Structure 1
Amino acid sequence: MHAASRQISAAQRKDHDTLLNEAIRKLSDEFEVKVQVVATMHNITQEKVKKLLGGHKYYRNPRGMQLANAIIHDKAHEVNEGRACGEKLTLQQIWGLVRADPKYQDMTQDEKDELLCALTEYRALKNMSVRATNSAATRNVQSTLEHIFKILDGLALHTGVYVCLFTTRGHVYDSSQPFWYGTDNVMDFWEDVMDLEPDEIVRKMEQWACMHGKNIEERNSVEGMQQMCAHILNSGLRLCCSSQT
């Protein structure tokens, strides 16, 4: 009896998957046709049409802070502060505490603004904080650069600006690979005007960074901070003396 039921369920799932795949294929075909029509109408390539579509997705202002998120953040900080990782309350439990807490009912605008400000500051500090390990930094580099490239592609297509970007690891133990990026034909500038190839630039940049750079732990050390502060101060003094002269 159970075997027969499983067979029926499996057959139903198979039919459902077949219909879904057919619908997705049909949608993909329609999309390609519409892209071709737009490309032909405006005398551009299909790749540029697809990039413009991607630009509409990434080239936009970020959403503002949501009050619900600010309230959750405030309550989570209150109840999870000092708890071990396995002892922290879940999001569902925190939501229950929020609904039962009278201080979140009928809040004034000043109280709402204070919670939103606290969440904004928290996210800003989190985005600027240094990752714990070199491997975590590598993953962060990859995901962040992919997002940046999509935004810059959209920006270039919408505004016509030229953008070039060179990135390399900052320490011999980092696994990030050196990379260069440019919109349109901007990299021709380095070869035609500066007589340098982008690959050569990023290779020399990597050598320089690995000789002078430091890993995350060293950058966060007291000695590293002191050297950085001394460099900034010396640079500022040199600028001041130059301007006075």
Structure 2
Amino acid sequence: MPTCLPGDHPARWRALDSQAWALVTMVCTLYLPQVGRTCLGGLSLLYMGPVLWATLSVLALGEPSGLARPWQLWRLRAAWICFAGLAPFLSWWLRCVDLPYLAVAALLAMLSACWAFLETCAMVGHLARSRDLPGLALDALLARIALLYFLVIPLLALWVTFAAALLAGWAAVPGDWLRLWRQVPPWGRLLLTYAPVLALMNLARLLLRATSGLSALPCAVSAEPPGGPDHDAAVIASTPDCRP
């Protein structure tokens, strides 16, 4: 039967709810037309607000019981802190696409984002399994698979293709990555652009479901067997004093 663990409290799981809405805000900032754009049409740093919001939500989660190992929480925090620190380079690289330093930093920002999202799914999965919530654990696994197929693999495919183009001499500067992107058919660009939206919105849905599921868990009442210290104290207190 699903039950909460020591230290569980509905207020703790509000951090997951906050992280979910931060992801929704980040997706809207990145993908909605004329939102998060500069006056010249480039990507502004407005998306940094939701990224920092999600990072603070992860830090506010504390140390919930039921994780696989203590270092798993530190790995989750490290992933989001790295993402928050490297995220501005994506906007800067899109403004100066020919600088190798910004291109490498933007690649690291994308990889750290994938790492943070996958660690979030893993954390929800461990919380669900430790509290005997098989439905939530399966949902976390499906969200992780969606991130792999809709975000991580397409992103790696683009960068590996660009690296192969550099080695073959078909590309000379990091700005050729965008020219390589324009060679993708329109349906492919549409798929590669909006597939991450589905994965991130599914991750936000997972966090919202985890919040409601973990907050509704009943706490087990520990019944002490007769003969324990508390039981003996209660018996002594209820015994009438028969002294003259």
Q: Into which bin does the TM-score normalised by the smaller protein fall?
A: under 0.3
TM-score (norm 2): 0.23
Structure number with greater Rg is: 1
TM-score (norm 1): 0.23
Larger RCO: Structure 1 or Structure 2 (Cα < 8 Å, ≥ 6 residues apart)? 2
